[in-house]
Structure 1
Amino acid sequence: MMREAVSNQCFTSFLVGSNKVPVDVLQYANDTIFFGEASMANVKTVKVILKSFEMVFGLRINFAKSKFGAIGQSEEWCLYAAKYFNRALLQFPFCYLGIPIGVNPKRKVVWDPIIRKFEDRLNRWMMGRGDQILFWEDAWAEDGIPLKDQFPDLYRISSQRNHIVADMGSFFESGWEWNLLWRRNLFDYEMGIASNFIDQISIIRLNSNLKDTWVWRADINGIFSTKSTYQVLKDEQASEVQYLAFQQLWDIKIPPRALSFAWRLLWDRLPTKDNLAKRQIQTDRLMPFLPQQA
């Protein structure tokens, strides 16, 4: 419909770059973004396209989550167009899929939340001498979860909250020994928690000859690579697409039996030959949908 609108000069696309490449629609998963010249003619055309889509396909558009924004127009014009479009006015800058839009991408502060997200999900410390790792705050334990999150009761009464690992004990001839300090004596119910805590940190062996290093958990070798990063982003996009599909599936006005079929299809729960084989169900005697060729 958008191509027809553009070809019939009912919609003026947004021109990008020195080559003036026309862009009018971007789609990701179930999201659609319209780009165009900031004019009421374009606003009216998009509204007609969306209404026509609903009527032709019988699907509902989630207008409650739709927003309208314009750059280079007065606030009065933007409010008028948003009211005509019956959408909320989009405020700049905004976030889309966790990425800030409408800000200077060269500023480090823009990317800090995304970097922290990758660090939290994909990185952990490999212990060396322990002079770079915060004992309670950093993810250096075997399961990659900070000790303050695993043992919050002990963290609250610790006298060494901001200490690095190297300051939490000493090297002796027999090896490393922990020296944990508390603001008060442990209560009876905390003794069991403390026992589990000691068991967990006791398996960590410090080495005074090695530096603390980051481990990239997205790669089996623990080494960062653009290939593994791309795979992480690809897997995350796939999960987001599936989540959005499930979220919007139940809003579709179709018979319950069709909804159930669609749900099973998205979850790969249909009794296909592959799925039946995984359940160790013999399919040789079952009638195939298509005749087998001789």
Structure 2
Amino acid sequence: MGEKSWANVRALRAVLVLFESVSSLKVNFHKSMLSGINISDSWLGAATTALNCRVGRVPFTYLGLPVGGDSRRLAFWDPVVARIANKLSVWKSRFFSFGGRLILIKYALSSLPVYALSFFRAPTNGVALSVRFSRLYDLSVNKHCTVEEMATLGWEEGGDAWKWRRRLWYWEEVMVGECSLLLSNVVLQVSISDRWRWCHDISGCYSVRTAYNVLTSDVSSIDIAASDLIWHRHVPLKVYILAWCLLCNRLPAKANLMARGILVQDAQLCVSGCGEVETAQHLFVCCPIFGELWFHVRHWIGVSKVDPYDISDHFLQFTYLSGGAVSKRSFMQLLWLVCLGVVI
């Protein structure tokens, strides 16, 4: 607005009133705010009384984004973190299906951060590993070791740096693998302070453009096929979630349940009674009882093929049995999903 003066206050009100007259739009002064920098509260209160608006404070939120703060500080991102935590409240997941939780996670962890990072750069100091992997930090025996000592002991997966107070669960072992992968790119250098660096940009700073290029630059044929399956307009949400869990080997087959410590080793045999270990591949393709389904389906459509052992290869082969036309691939995908529901 300019310098602190009553002439500027009257000019601002005149501009808004003229805008109402010219555009036939209403300016709601009750919802407007007047903010001042290095201005006394008494003068600012008198100015807001003259304009019939509210006193604003810096930083403030506009269209869900904080304005006027320092994006290099972690406190600047607290509203974004609070909004994500509010969207992912525990009580909401209790009333959602698996598909509903998936959509909520995609919205909260994709849309909100990307929207904020489209305008501001994220801080480079990041989050401490003891906070990010708080579960592993609580179970670790080497809590007071320095980074140098951990690197000397060996922080690769299975290294001596990983010592625990008890045996880890399956999902905790997955977290160890994630932490080891994160530390594999760390290079220790003397007399140089630690900092986060985005390796996919020359400046070392994160940007939405480089993240998009990384995600779209290396897409395998399996990812393309899975994307076609997900965005199939005739596939219900719960069906493609079941197929996606199968392609990622996340179904609760007995072999997976044994790896998680839920079943004992003697209880991992196939439910059909064939005597083999019940894995997703065996149950869906190789089982002499359930695997016969694919022979009858191929005989029905008039195609003779050998079933691959891998689930993803099986999906790709079955999709292109009738050719590469879009309509034929769409029908074969639907048929594959129907058979999936019959087996599982």
TM superposition score normalised by structure 1: 0.38
Q: 1 or 2 for the larger relative contact order (CA 8 Å, sep ≥6)?
A: 1
The structure carrying a bigger strand percent of its residues is 1
TM superposition score normalised by structure 2: 0.33
